[in-house]
């Protein structure tokens, strides 16, 4: 397996991102922290990975609740639906169409889940006449 080499200008950009450091806010434990643009890109990518992993676990756990009483989950699904629409708007203004399409499809799936959510089934006890008592 081989990978395509970057254009030489790409190496210059990456080197520049790693070498340009900026102050990253207030001192932490008495130390002033500086970060490069490269650190910010890596941190944002890792943060997104952590968030999406946690979200996947939350949806996996909510799926067991949806089997019992999906209607109670509507408010939680509305929060995620709103967040994905905000992500889509953010991706449209800052990135490219791939994430926008994916986030709109996720939002549509959440909207469908909200629309089709049903309340819990109420189990009624129906008395059954046994044959021993049916001698009327």
Residue 76 lies in a domain: yes
User: Distance between CA atoms of 90 and 107, rounded to whole angstroms?
Assistant: 14
Looking at residue 81, its pLDDT comes to: 93
Q: Which domain holds residue 41?
A: 12-23+33-118
Residue 132 lies in a domain: no
Looking at residue 48, its pLDDT comes to: 85
Looking at residue 31, its pLDDT comes to: 57
pTM, entire model: 0.59
User: Distance between CA atoms of 105 and 96, rounded to whole angstroms?
Assistant: 15
- Residue 96: its H or E element: none
- Residue 99: its H or E element: helix 97-116
C-beta atoms surrounding 24 within 10 Å: 14
Looking at residue 108, its pLDDT comes to: 95
| The total number of structural domains that make up the chain | 1
Residue 28 lies in a domain: no
Residue 62 lies in a domain: yes
pLDDT along the chain (136 residues), means of 10: 67 70 58 69 83 88 80 88 92 83 92 83 61 56
């Amino acid at each position: 397996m081989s990978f395509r080499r970057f254009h030489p200008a790409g190496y210059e950009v990456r080197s520049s991102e790693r070498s340009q450091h900026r102050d990253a806010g207030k001192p932490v434990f008495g130390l002033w922290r500086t970060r490069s643009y490269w650190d910010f890109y890596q941190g944002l990518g890792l943060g997104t990975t952590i968030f999406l992993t946690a979200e996947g676990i939350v949806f996996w756990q909510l799926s067991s609740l949806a089997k019992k009483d999906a209607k109670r989950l509507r408010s939680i699904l509305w929060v995620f639906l709103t967040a994905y629409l905000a992500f889509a708007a953010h991706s449209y203004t800052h990135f490219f169409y791939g994430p926008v399409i994916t986030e709109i499809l996720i939002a549509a799936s959440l909207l469908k889940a909200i629309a089709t959510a049903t309340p819990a089934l109420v189990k009624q006890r129906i008395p059954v006449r046994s044959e021993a008592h049916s001698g009327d």
